């Protein structure tokens, strides 16, 4: 018996919930290859709970294959979800879609979200979506997060600030005079990456820590 398009869609929707990640991955690939409006709600729902990174990435890709008019309103609702993964993945998907209509949803609350994954996704999305004329305010907000978290989080923030270019310079300069040595070190490392994007973050941060320690040390004549 020949399978109808409705049958195929039903099979793919079921596949997105399969207990095996390989099946979910193939189902997401199939959904993105043959997009249909009936998939959008399930893709977004699955993004909020999918435990496997590669499957989540395929879910995002599948969403980008659908019409923005269908996906954007639903993703904008997701960034206000109480579930951190839902917020994070929706922000990640918005950054991949790249439609600047989403910019107003990138709030300070998201850029400073207590969950590192949400904040990192918000930083990446903000850099992609920020309209001309608002990059300076974005850089100032991002600079308030300097010194936050471990290496991966700090690297994400540095990359976001570097992506903004010279407009991030004043905020970074101010942060190099912060009382917190972690903030100073992170700001200095990001300044170095801004001057030389090919510089390694590990080397930049270690050098910056030494400079920050010296900068914060009491002078001999104090």
Dump pLDDT digits (tens) for 121-162. Answer: 999 999 999 998 999 999 999 999 999 999 999 999 999 999
Final residue of a domain: which of 107, 129, 151?
A: 129
Q: In the prediction, which pLDDT does 27 show?
A: 97
What pLDDT sits at residue 222? 38
Residue 76, classified by CB atoms within 10 Å of its CB into exposed (0-12), middle (13-18) or buried (19+), is: middle
The contacts of residue 186 (CB under 8 Å, 6+ apart) are: 146, 147, 154, 157, 158, 175, 205, 208
Note whether residue 170 is domain-resident.
yes
Structural domain contains residue 5: no
The model's confidence at residue 218, banded by pLDDT at 50, 70 and 90, is very low
pLDDT tens for 56-106 read 999 999 999 999 999 999 999 999 999 999 999 999 999 999 999 999 999
Band the pLDDT of 2: cuts 50, 70, 90: low
**pLDDT value of position 196:** 81
Residue 125 near residue 94, CB atoms below 8 Å: yes
Q: Is the pLDDT of residue 209 over 70?
A: no
Q: Is the pLDDT of residue 42 over 80?
A: yes
Q: What percentage of the chain reaches a pLDDT higher than 70?
A: 87
pLDDT of residue 219: 37
Residue 199: the pLDDT is: 66
Number of structural domains in the chain: 2
**Within a domain: 222:** no
Residue 168, in any domain of the structure: yes
Q: Which domain holds residue 158?
A: 138-217
Mean pLDDT, residues 21-36: 97
Q: Is the pLDDT of residue 215 over 70?
A: no
Based on the fold, state whether residues 121 and 156 are members of the same structural domain: no
Whole-model pTM: value is 0.87
For range 106-118, the mean pLDDT? 98
197, 108: one domain? no
In a domain, 212, yes or no: yes
Last residue of a domain, one of 94, 129, 164: 129
């Amino acid at each position: 018996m020949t399978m109808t398009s409705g049958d195929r869609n039903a099979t793919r929707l079921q596949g997105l919930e399969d207990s095996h990640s390989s099946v979910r991955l193939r189902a997401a690939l199939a959904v993105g290859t043959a997009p249909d409006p009936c998939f959008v709600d399930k893709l977004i729902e699955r993004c909020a709970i999918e435990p496997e990174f590669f499957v989540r990435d395929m879910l995002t890709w599948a969403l980008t294959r659908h019409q923005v008019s269908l996906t954007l309103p639903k993703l904008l609702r997701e960034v206000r979800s109480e579930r951190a993964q839902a917020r994070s993945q929706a922000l990640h998907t918005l950054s991949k879609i790249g439609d600047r209509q989403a910019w107003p949803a990138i709030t300070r609350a998201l850029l400073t979200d207590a969950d590192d994954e949400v904040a990192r996704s918000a930083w990446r999305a903000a850099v992609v979506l920020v309209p001309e004329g608002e990059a300076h305010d974005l850089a100032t907000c991002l600079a308030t997060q300097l010194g936050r978290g471990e290496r991966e989080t700090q690297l994400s923030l540095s990359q976001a600030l570097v992506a903004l270019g010279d407009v991030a310079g004043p905020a970074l300069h101010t942060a190099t005079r912060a009382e917190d040595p972690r903030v100073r070190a992170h700001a200095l490392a990001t300044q170095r990456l801004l001057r030389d994007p090919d510089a390694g973050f590990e080397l930049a941060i270690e050098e910056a820590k030494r400079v920050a320690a010296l900068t914060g040390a009491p002078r001999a004549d104090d």
